[in-house]
Amino acid sequence: MTTTTPLDLTSSVAEVNRVVTAVADDQLAGPTPCAETSVAALLDHLHGLAVGLRLAALKQPTGAPSASADVPADWRTRIPRELDELADAWRDPAAWEGTSEPGGIALPAAWAGRVALNEVLVHGWDLAVATGRHYAPDPAAVRACIDYGREFAAAAPEARNSIYGPEVAVPADAPELDQLLGLTGRDPGWRPAG
């Protein structure tokens, strides 16, 4: 890991919150770039990761993550609030020190913070493209996630392969967001059928 400098999740969370609140009810059953994951299941995953990775910042253990298509009834207000709380928790420099246990796995806290940023940013794209929304993440956050993704693949290829699909080749001169998407097993050109 090359950095222990705290990263600010605020702009990434704000962009994802904009997308979350725009999701229409009739889009909940629709597909996403995540295999066999509906929009509702992706929202449930955002809900779970926001809570779990906030607890990791607070050095409180969390259980293994789970996802279903049962989003909370108040998801349009609850998920943005939980994502804001996630960003607030990682804003504390102490969150980046020592060890955290996201999903019951002990990790250096600085690594867990990078996981949090990557999860928010990449799943934000998943949700945006699945629901036809524009998505403009902070370029510095995208670069930080590319660095994280490359280090993760080099340090723990088996773990990387169990979390993401196979890497998708993108042109060397592709935009950085496309490079990140390919690195995380996503086709930057994915769109829902129809």
| Structural domain boundaries in the chain | 10-183
How far, rounded to the nearest angstrom, does the alpha carbon of residue 17 sit from its chain's CA centroid? 12
pLDDT of 2 > 70? The answer is: no
* Average pLDDT score over the chain: 92
Reported pTM = 0.93
> For residue range 78-108, what is the model confidence (pLDDT) as tens digits?
999 999 999 999 999 999 999 998 888 888 9
Distances (CA, A) of 148 to 31, 62, 141, 155: 27, 22, 10, 10
| Residues 81, 87, 90, 91, CA torsion sign | negative
pLDDT of 71 > 90? The answer is: no
Looking at 50-54, 103-107, 185-189, which range is the least confident one? 103-107
pLDDT of 33 > 90? The answer is: yes
pLDDT at 160: 84
**Alpha carbons within 13 A on the beta-carbon side of 94:** 4
How open is the CA angle 30-22-192, to the nearest 5 degrees? 30
Average pLDDT over residues 19-30: 97
> For residue range 59-68, what is the model confidence (pLDDT) as tens digits?
997 765 555 6
Range 10-183: architecture per CATH: Up-down Bundle (1.20)
Average pLDDT over residues 65-77: 78
Provide the pLDDT confidence category of residue 1 given band limits of 50, 70 and 90: very low
DSSP, collapsed to helix, strand or coil, labels residue 102 as: helix
Residue 132: which of 194, 50, 41, 70 has the closest Cα?
194
47 residue type, one letter: H
